[in-house]
Amino acid sequence: MLVYIFLAHGKKPKTRGEVITHVAARGQMRNIAARYSTFPTSEDRFNWDYARAIQCLDDLPRLAKFLRRLHASGQGVILVDDLARIFRACALDRRIDLMAELEPFGAHIGSLRHSKTLSTMPGDMKANLISHAELIQNWSARGARKVRMSDADRAEQTLIARDASIVARQVGARCREDMILSLKDELEADGVARSALQLAEEANRRGSRTAHGRAWSERAVKDMIRRAKKALVRVIPKATPEVAHVSPLDA
């Protein structure tokens, strides 16, 4: 089991021992230990980052290193007790970009609170991380306290979740589209065209998944590339013939 602790307040720790005793780490460690009856402390199984505010994945160098290592090997998951902790520390206008950076590693990062990896989270769950992370209260793996909501509050939350789900689907689609197109450019850098089947096989080898958490198929890749081309056509304005301007004085 690989575990990651994110610290956003308190004194910056200098050693692994200081992290284990850090006030901001205790709740996270308790949640993980409550679920798995243990908490790994060895250097190859446990790592952390400290940052009061972040803008991108590289602001969390240890997490980035962990994820890139797992991605390169094609296997393994690093466990975070609650991904909302990370998004809360990110500026609201940068969270979509942060999600886009994390998406390629989605199969390798799991959130204990959500009981899912990022790649298997539904759109509304991702949307809440992006849009409402600060509203997601701290939790305990031993059981959460139930809060009664009024009908008006429930209706408002339903609207928020619906809008957030739309945003998340759009973000996810953009991320997957960019990934497939970037992969196509990378593989065809030698001047040799690659088939949709070859692109699908390579995307699956790298741990990428479709919006439904499934492996890429030849048809799914073809559909993604076709949609990307249609979107490109829509944003490129049609050429219009130049019309000579005739001044009234020349008439």
The CATH number given to whatever domain includes residue 51 is 3.40.50
Record the tokens describing residue 92, joined without a space. Answer: 């609201």
- Express each pLDDT in 110-126 by its tens digit: 998 888 999 999 888 88
Give the length of the chain.
251
What pTM did the predictor assign?
A: 0.56
- pLDDT value for 211: 72
Tell how strand 109-111 and strand 116-117 pair up.
antiparallel
- Could you tell me the pLDDT band of residue 70, with boundaries at 50, 70 and 90? very high
- pLDDT value for 155: 61
Residue 218 belongs to domain spanning: 152-235
Same domain, residue pair 61 and 115: yes
What total of structural domains would you count in the chain? 2
At residue 148, does pLDDT exceed 70? no
At residue 225, does pLDDT exceed 60? yes
Q: Report DSSP state, residue 118.
A: G
138 in a domain, yes or no? no
Specify whether the CB–CB gap between 200 and 220 falls below 8 A.
yes
